[in-house]
Amino acid sequence: MSITASQMRAARALIKMEQAELAKRSGVSVPTIRRMEGGDGAVKGHYDNVAAIIRELEGAGVIFVAENGEGPGVRLRKNR
């Protein structure tokens, strides 16, 4: 799955997770997370890093909503 930089930022905001906490949980460095979130469009980075970040955010209750003609998004799982 691919996510956008905006989705990544929004996901962290929804669960109130700082970049440092995501770095600790995912094993991806803060500078790498900062770089990923600073881009436009799809998150760019090593596949393993992107997968680790998605896994951690989803594990914390984030659901990534795919592009459906109205733009990609994020929401929280009902029972997290």
Taking CA atoms, 30 is separated from 11, 21, 25, 35, 55, in Å, by 16, 9, 11, 9, 16
Q: Where are the domains of the chain?
A: 5-76
What are the beta bridge partners of residue 64?
A: 74
β-pairing, 73-76 vs 62-65, is antiparallel
Residue 78: predicted pLDDT? 85
> Please, which pLDDT band fits residue 71 given cuts at 50, 70 and 90?
confident
Residue 80: predicted pLDDT? 60
Please state the rounded mean pLDDT for residues 6-33: 98
CATH number of this structure's domain 5-76, picked from the four choices 1.10.260.40, 3.50.50.60, 2.40.110.10, 3.40.50.450:
1.10.260.40
| Confidence check: pLDDT of 58 > 90 | yes
**69 vs 66, which has greater pLDDT?**
66
Please state the rounded mean pLDDT for residues 33-56: 96
